Amino acid sequence: MISSHRIALVTGANKGIGLEIARQLAQAGVVVILGARDAGRAKAALDDLLSQGLKAQAVPLDLDDHASIAAAAETIRAEHGRLDILVNNAGIVDAADGPPGTASLDAVRRIMETNFIGALAVTQAMLPLLRKAPAARIVNLSSSLGSLTLNGDPASPYYAARLIGYNASKAALNMLTVQLAEALRGTSIVINSVSPGYVKTDLTGQQGFMSAEEGARLPVAYALLGEGAVSGRFVEASGQTPW
Ligand code: NAP
């Protein structure tokens, strides 16, 4: 079935910022596909959105299981024939991450696998469907912690967060944004890295300055960018984040 509504896939959409991105996109009239690796948590999130009268569905999607990524792409192709919005939101931290001299290599590998390789794999799998949309948007959930500039700036509030795995994974994700934006220059597809701010979710141990609903607003704005939109940027609520 080819829908006249925009179709969005949000990865890691069963809770936190991802669920709120899904909710806000659906409130804007987008048909939202919740990507989630756990069937039970996916159903709870889907029921939450459906109970609000929103248009949503769920698809099994584990960024560490590339067969599940291929299967999700095939489901979207068969049901919708295209994808208008991809939000690469799923991400992890790891307690064994830390400064470069002592971080667990296994932890760094796990983080890179999900936050970078996983997002890259999802993007590659969805690209043929994004090319079929009239003006697709890709939003990568990055972090100011991924800024090389801020990691080297003692005056930055992020300077003290020495997480080699997490910060490197977001810097790598930013490279995906830059390279894909250049590869897609001249097409109608736009891709940006968005830093949501410091948001109270499970990832931060419910610490932060913003609710998940507030943290979803900027990623949603970039998912809904209109014609002539900028591409290849790294942005936060106050403006552009230095690379
Ligand atoms: P969260 O509440 O912990 O949610 C993370 C989501 O990612 C969950 O739905 C989780 O699913 C999913 N996920 C993790 N690994 C996955 C995998 N292998 N396959 C599929 N889904 C997976 O975290 P959040 O704060 O909302 O984070 C969302 C994004 O924002 C992340 O990319 C994070 O790095 C970024 N971010 C957050 C903040 C912040 O202050 N919170 C700041 C900057 C950037 P499960 O429930 O199955 O684990």
The whole model's pTM is what? 0.98
pLDDT of 26-56, one tens digit each? 999 999 999 999 999 999 999 999 999 999 9
CA of 223 to the centre of ligand 1 (A): 17
Residue 201 lies in a domain: yes
222 has catalytic annotation: no
Report the nearest atom of ligand 1 relative to the CA of 204.
41
Tokens 């890259």, located at residue: 120
Q: How far apart are CA 135 and CA 90, in angstroms?
A: 23
> Once rounded to an integer, what is the mean pLDDT over residues 215-220?
98
Which CATH number characterizes residue 86's domain? 3.40.50.720
Distance of alpha carbon 84 from the chain centroid: 14
**CA distance to 51, 91, 126, 160, 229, per residue, from 192 (Å):** 31, 17, 16, 26, 10
CA of 169 to the centre of ligand 1 (A): 13
Confidence of residue 3 (pLDDT cuts 50, 70, 90): low
Domain boundaries, position 235: 7-240
Of the chain, the percentage scoring pLDDT greater than 90 comes to: 97
Residue 35 lies in a domain: yes
The tally of domains found in the chain comes to 1
Q: Which of 158, 159, 166, 222 is catalytic?
A: 166
